[in-house]
Amino acid sequence: MKFLSRKEELILLTIWKLEDNAYGVTIREAISKSTKKYWSIGAIYDVLDRLVSKGYVSTSISAPLAERGGKSRKYYLLTKKGYKALVEIKTIAETMWSDLPIPLLKRG
């Protein structure tokens, strides 16, 4: 069983959060805001393509828009499979976190 990668998880969560308004520009904006890190558009598309191929998101294409130079938007929607994958990884993380002892930390 292969788990979601962290990048995939973050982008899936963002798509979920954005509901029906998840496309390249908004996803990047939202994820940059919540992670406080810079995400390049290329990095996002790399992950998005893989999520599509694994069936975690589905896509729909809008009508051409003037502000995009006559190009369409590709909207992403979370699928049931994607949702399950997210839940699964969350459960695992919680289980792992739940029974941890107090850490013995060395001064770094």
* Residues that bind other proteins in the complex, under the rule CB under 8 A: 23-25, 28, 38, 40-46, 49-50, 65-74
Contact criterion met (CB below 8 Å) for 57 and 48: yes
Residue nearer to other proteins on the CB measure, 18 or 28? 28
CB of 28 to other proteins, least distance (A): 8
CB of 49 to other proteins, least distance (A): 6
60 strand-pairing partners: 75
Going by C-alpha positions, the residue among 28, 51, 22 that lies closest to residue 40 is 28
Residue nearer to other proteins on the CB measure, 49 or 88? 49
Residue nearer to other proteins on the CB measure, 40 or 91? 40
CB of 93 to other proteins, least distance (A): 26
Residue nearer to other proteins on the CB measure, 67 or 94? 67
Contact criterion met (CB below 8 Å) for 107 and 81: no
CB of 4 to other proteins, least distance (A): 16
User: Cβ of 11: how many Cβ atoms within 10 Å?
Assistant: 27
Residues 6+ apart with CB under 8 A from 30: 14, 17, 18
